[in-house]
Amino acid sequence: MIGLALRVSGIAIVLFASVSVCVTQERSRENEEFGPVVRAYLGYLRNEQEVVDDRISRREISAAYYRRNSNRIRALRQMAINLAKQNRNDYLPELEAVTRNEFGLLFERPPQAESLRAGEILNRTFRFIGIVRSGELFYIFARLDPYEQSELIEKGTLNRASSEGPSPPTTDASSKATRSRRATSP
């Protein structure tokens, strides 16, 4: 009986070690592939997942809450990696991932999900980035930063945006998912 317990313990240790090696390799690839801002955001998402994991282990949250938040974290991670690779830039906007029934969390008058187009500006505050399926559909929005808002105001594209709902498609400024990183002189 003790021999069997030792074998099971040994197998568990080997499995844990192999999982640890895989996680370490994934993190080192991220460290090589992305800049410090993107790495920090991915680290933040890892920490958020650890918090959710801890809360479910203590039975502080329901299984449904755990699933939704774990799926949301995966959706944000997937979009962040896609944006970083696509833009080849060490910048990420503030991302929000919501399900269709959570639109009210971001918008006083929620837009129709079917009418959303990538790059579209909503409520002068958010740019619709796209949809990610992670267990369920998450709609990803980027919060416009003050620089982006002022650039759009200067071009006159933000003035046409509706304060209540989706804006009509605009010129090339709305087709980009994120703005370019600003270079500052010392």
pTM value is 0.68
For residues 186 and 81, which has the higher predicted lDDT (pLDDT)? 81
pLDDT > 90 in the chain, percent: 56
Alpha-helical (H) ranges within the chain are 2-33, 36-57, 63-87, 146-155, 172-175
For residue 99, how many other CB atoms are within 10 A of its CB?
16
Confidence of residue 15 (pLDDT cuts 50, 70, 90): very low
Q: Which amino acid is at 24?
A: T
On the question of pLDDT at 18 being above 70, the answer is no
Q: What is the pLDDT of residues 47-79, one digit of tens each?
A: 999 999 999 999 999 999 999 999 999 999 999
Residue 42 sits at the vertex; the CA angle it makes with 38 and 45, to the nearest 5 degrees, is 140
pLDDT of 7: 56
Confidence of residue 119 (pLDDT cuts 50, 70, 90): very high
What is the rounded distance in angstroms from the CA atom of residue 75 to the CA atom of residue 87?
18
Closest of 49, 140, 56, 156 to residue 102, by C-alpha: 140
Tokens of 185: 């002189």
For residues 116 and 164, which has the higher predicted lDDT (pLDDT)? 116
Confidence of residue 80 (pLDDT cuts 50, 70, 90): very high
Question: Any idea which of 27-36, 133-142, 155-164 has the lowest mean pLDDT?
Answer: 155-164
Burial track 140-156 (b if 16+ CB lie within 10 A, e otherwise): bbbebeeebbeebeeee
Q: Which amino acid is at 71?
A: N
Sorted by where each begins, the domain ranges of the chain are 11-91, 93-178
Report the chain's mean pLDDT, rounded to a whole number. Answer: 79
For residues 89 and 166, which has the higher predicted lDDT (pLDDT)? 89
